[in-house]
Structure 1
Amino acid sequence: MNDRFLINKTAVVTGAGQGVGQGIAISLAERGATVALLGRSLEKLEISRSLIEHAGGKAITIAVDVKNAGELAAAIERVVNETGGIQILVNNAQEVPLGTLLAVAEEKIEAGWQSGPMATLRLMKLCYPYLRGDGVIINLASSVGMRWDMSGYGAYAAVKEAIRSISRAAACEWGAEGIRCNVILPHAMSPGLKTWTENRPQEAAEFIASIPLRRIGECKEDIGDFVSMLCSEHSRYVNGQTIALDGGQARVS
């Protein structure tokens, strides 16, 4: 396999300033793609760009609130104007509404909905004209939707499961037009997961013990590199799937 198998491709990655989004963006750039880094913090995005450019890749940064439809439209217009098109879309950004049903604030749920399934759908529709023919969409959901004990995670699971439904519909509706859409469920040591493991050490220890490989994944090597492969011609017949990148923990249905 040629290491530069995404050359002449443009990828849009949301939440690209840190964690899993950054890992995916770096891997795509290493494989030859020009990567549009989208996120709320321009400072964080510039760090990701410097890492990409240091490795010989190309990236542009666009500060955007994914909950704002107008900002998303302007961002995609800029990407197309500067790069000529879009072949890969990775929807990673997500505000996480955690808490029991009685405790979680409705504003948190609304932010989770707007930053997750609504932003995902909006970007899919904005990018659709450019993805037709050979485009790939990778949407991020979570194995939290497979938890037996959903206590404290119901709102988060709800917004993530909505993303899975939207993704499956796109795979079916747009597949004939040459657009593939898949979902990944990643476990990786992102800043959010790191904070969770520090704040809930006992739950985190139990969580890691439940992973057959007994470790949490790496953002670039375990998640990003798989996404790059999933975006390539080597995965051209993979469509409409939910793939857990979690060391074997979840049983996906």
Structure 2
Amino acid sequence: MKFTALVAAILGMVTLPHAHAVVLIGWDPQGMSAANGGWPDGWSSSSQGGTVTVDSGIQIVEGLNRGAGTTAGTLNNGWGATGINQTTQAAAISDNDYLFFSLAPQEGNLMSLSALDYNVRLVSTPWNSGDTRYLWQYKVGDGSFVDIGEPLALVGEYNTNGVAQPTLNLSGIAALQNVTEEVEFRMYAWNSGGQFVFGRLPGNDLALSGSVSAVPEPSRMLFLILGVMSWMFRRYRTPIPG
């Protein structure tokens, strides 16, 4: 058992090429106008308004979209949903008050996710600072949705051009590292005054960062496995000096 675990650990370190974290998907709604039809559903292309950045190593499976309990809005230079008017997490989940998107690595790639960054434009509808809550979840492949930590309090003043929220760190979530399947993110919100909008600061107002690397070729994998097993065999056969 220890031998198998050690081989797996060593392979995890040596088979995957190093890759620097970059923005895999970024959405900047600057320039998106209500006169052009408001906020698009399944926002996955700059042709729909604003600017969408997509790394060449990944693909957008489902563009930025809204749950069935919400409706589109018409705020210029922002993207989000109206109708997010529940007051508890359970009610928000039951009412499908969420925003979501999904992505997957291009064929032959491994995808590792490190961070979510987002700016939120708080509506002018009165709300008590610190009472608005939101919760991110993820799902890998056909699995179940998993909460990312605990519900978070929205920070900042309302009726501004946007407030940067604390970065959501994903690097410690093992299920989101070296992924070959589709990953979907959902964000539920409640006590929001009815609207939740990404915007309206310069640059991306929602960005997912990470890295992409090529899946090692089978011949290289076999060579590495044999090399590790040979090293381990010699290690366990060598008498300990005494």
**TM-score relative to the length of structure 2:** 0.34
Q: Of the two, which has the highest radius of gyration?
A: 2
Greater RCO between the two (CA within 8 Å, min separation 6)? 2
Which structure carries more strand by proportion?
Answer: 2
Which structure carries more helix by proportion?
Answer: 1
